[in-house]
Amino acid sequence: HADVVILGAGQAGLQAALSLREEGFAGTIQMIGDEAALPYQRPPLSKGFLLGQVGEEALELRPQAMLDKLDIRLATGVAGTGIDRAARRLALSDGSACGYGHLILATGSRVRLWSGAGADLAGIAYLRTLDDARALGPRLEAARDVVVIGAGFIGLEFAAVAAKRGKRVHVLEAADRVMARAVTPAISAFFRERHEIAGVEFRFGAKLAGITGRDGQVAGVELDGDEHLPADLVLVGIGGIPNAELAAAAGLAVENGVVVDEMMATADPHVSAIGDCCSHPNVFAGSRIRLESVQNAIDQGRTIAARLAGKPQPYRAVPWFWSDQGDLKLQMAGFTNGADHQVTIGAMDEARFSLLSFRGGALVGIESVNRPADNMLARRILALPQPVTLAASEAAGHDLKALAM
Ligand code: FAD
Ligand 1 pocket member 155 (CB < 6 A): no
Establish if 366 belongs to a structural domain: yes
Is residue 318 in a domain? no
What global pTM score does this model have? 0.97
Is 393 within 8 Å of 225 (Cβ atoms)?
A: no
In angstroms, what is the span from residue 88 Cα to ligand 1's centroid? 25
Task: For the chain, 405 residues long, give each residue's pLDDT as a single digit of tens.
Answer: 999 999 999 999 999 999 999 999 999 999 999 999 999 999 999 999 999 999 999 999 999 999 999 999 999 999 999 999 999 999 999 999 999 999 999 999 999 999 999 999 998 999 999 999 999 999 999 999 999 999 999 999 999 999 999 999 999 999 999 999 999 999 999 999 999 999 999 999 999 999 999 999 999 999 988 899 999 999 999 999 999 999 999 999 999 999 999 999 999 999 999 999 999 999 999 999 999 999 999 999 999 999 999 999 999 999 999 999 999 999 999 999 999 999 999 999 999 999 999 999 999 999 999 999 999 999 999 999 999 999 999 999 999 999 998
In a domain, 27, yes or no: yes
Q: How far is the CA of 106 from the centre of ligand 1 (A)?
A: 9
Tell me how far the alpha carbon of residue 127 lies from the centroid of ligand 1, in angstroms. 11
Whether residue 66 lies inside any domain: the answer is: yes
Task: Give the residue from 85, 161, 82 showing the smallest Cα distance to 325.
Answer: 161
CB distance 34 to ligand 1 below 6 Å: yes
**Domain finish residue from 236, 256, 287:** 236
ipTM above 0.90, yes or no: yes
Domain count, the chain: 3
**DSSP per-residue letters across 298-337:** HHHHHHHHHHHTT------PPPEEEEEETTEEEEEEE--T
Is residue 322, in this structure, part of any structural domain at all? no
> Which ligand 1 atom sits nearest the alpha carbon of residue 294?
25
Would the CB of 321 count as within 6 Å of ligand 1? yes
Q: Is the dihedral of CA 187, 190, 196, 197 positive or negative?
A: negative
Residues in CB range of 40: below 8 A, 6 or more apart: 59, 60, 61, 130
Other C-beta atoms closer than 10 Å to the C-beta of 156 total 30
Domain of 57, in residue numbers: 2-110+240-308
Are 173 and 246 found together in one domain? Answer: no
DSSP string of 196-256? HHTT-EEEET--EEEEEEETTEEEEEEETTTEEEE-SEEEE---EEE--HHHHHTT--BSS
Name residue 111's beta-bridge partners: 240
Beta carbons within 10 angstroms of residue 217's beta carbon: 11
Find, among 385, 249, 380, 323, the residue nearest to 42 by Cα.
Answer: 323
Are 22 and 90 found together in one domain?
yes
For residue 148, the cross-strand partners are: 171, 235
Q: Is 257 in the pocket of ligand 1 (CB under 6 A)?
A: no
Nearest residue to 230 via CA among 168, 178, 156: 168
Q: Compute how many other C-beta atoms are within 10 angstroms of the C-beta atom of residue 123.
A: 20
Check whether residue 280 and residue 336 sit in a common domain. no
Same-domain pairing of 130 and 58: no
The closest-lying atom of ligand 1 relative to the alpha carbon of residue 276 is: 52
Selection from 111, 108, 130, 97 nearest residue 9 by Cα:
108
Alpha-carbon distance of 324 to 164, in angstroms, equals: 13
